[in-house]
Amino acid sequence: MVRTVNGAWLIRGRDGRLSAYAPRDEAVWCWAQRTPGGSWIAPRTVGGDQRLHPVLAVGQGTDGYAHLVAWRPTGPQEAGLVHTTHFRPHLAALDWNRLGHPNKAGAQTGVPAVAVDAEGRAHVFVPNAGGGVSMRGQKERGGWGPWRDLKGREVEGELAAVTRLSGRVELYATSPAGILRWTQAGPGHIPALDDEPLKASARPGTLRALATSEEHVTVFFTDESDTLCAWRPGTEPVALLPCAGPGPVSAIRFTLDGVDCTLLAQRSRSGRAAFAAYPTEQESAGAWWTESGPQLPPDTQVSLSKDHQGDLVAATLQPDKGTGGELLMTRRKAEPGLALEAWRPIVPKNA
């Protein structure tokens, strides 16, 4: 069975410690640093003993808290969504909170996505049985609002949820008509579907959205010619470079040699992790892939983050390795350019 993680699963908590999340053995597991930049404790499950399907969405608010969303089995051929909040890497996450089903009952309808607004409220999105998207959001004073049908037609692949630097939440999805976008008119508003989709041939399952300035979100996707494209709403898509491999890229902004850059990472067709960087929102400057690390299984995912000192770190988590998994990490060398240190397996120690 395919294990899917939607969102950046390697994250830095508010205290600077890194955590990694992945579905494993009918649960969600967390790997966490003992101290910022230090060793790692043995992975453990989060959210209690709830049995889960191997699909996970990860989101993070400006408060550093991790929001996790998964499907749980509720009966023969039926499932429901659950949510938990993880406040600190070394503290137990809250028990899974049941969110129900966007169509009241039925089987899984797709991979969920989660984004967290400026007030720390999680917004959970998921395709529904009608081919559109449904959302359930946390209320300002606690609890959850109802499931809301956000419309949309013939949605395909995984959704891409993002929080703008203003704190407003946006959602993107692929369909035969093009890329669909939902935006909030203001804090706490229900995201509304744009009147017209972007008429681009985006391959389902390749969307990734990143807040790249106060004004813009940049959406990355692969088109039918295997080209990785960048699009900011209000402009035309730009062909950036040939994609390194299938699936979505991981993307992050960081300062490289004093320049605000966007770094992309993707498992390449050769099986290694590939990286490309360019000045943020300046796609015309060009970018090219540089491969790094060992060969990885086909469904290995790459995630990017910053450590407690703001330095770039990258991780790959190999599937089907049992409860411990195999978490490999690298970081940028302390020298000009984008040179990376040797990839090293994380060898957890008992707490």
3-state secondary structure 224-284: CCCEEEEECCCCCCEEEEECCCCCCCEEEEEEECCEEEEEEEEECCCCCEEEEEEECCCHH
pLDDT value at residue 273: 94
SS3 321: coil
Q: 């503290």: which residue's tokens?
A: 91
Question: Which phi-psi region, left, alpha or beta, contains residue 185 (left: φ > 0; alpha: ψ -120 to 50)?
Answer: alpha
Mean pLDDT by runs of 10 across the 351 residues of the chain is 80 93 92 92 88 96 94 96 88 89 97 96 97 96 94 96 96 97 93 96 95 97 96 96 91 94 95 96 96 87 93 84 68 89 80 48
Cβ count near 323 (within 10 Å): 12
Neighbour-count burial of 23, counting CB atoms closer than 10 A to its CB (0-12 exposed, 13-18 middle, 19+ buried): buried
Which residues lie closer than 8 Å to 3 by C-beta, 6 or more apart? 22, 23, 24, 54, 55, 299, 319, 320
Q: How far apart are CA 231 and CA 215, in angstroms?
A: 13
pLDDT value at residue 324: 44
Question: Which phi-psi region, left, alpha or beta, contains residue 310 (left: φ > 0; alpha: ψ -120 to 50)?
Answer: left
pLDDT value at residue 179: 98
Structure tokens at 212: 């790249």
Length of the chain (residues): 351
Q: How far apart are CA 109 and CA 341, in angstroms?
A: 40
Amino acid at 344: R
CA distances for 122 relative to 68, 90, 118, 265, 307, angstroms: 10, 22, 10, 26, 24
Q: How far apart are CA 48 and CA 94, in angstroms?
A: 8
pLDDT value at residue 29: 92
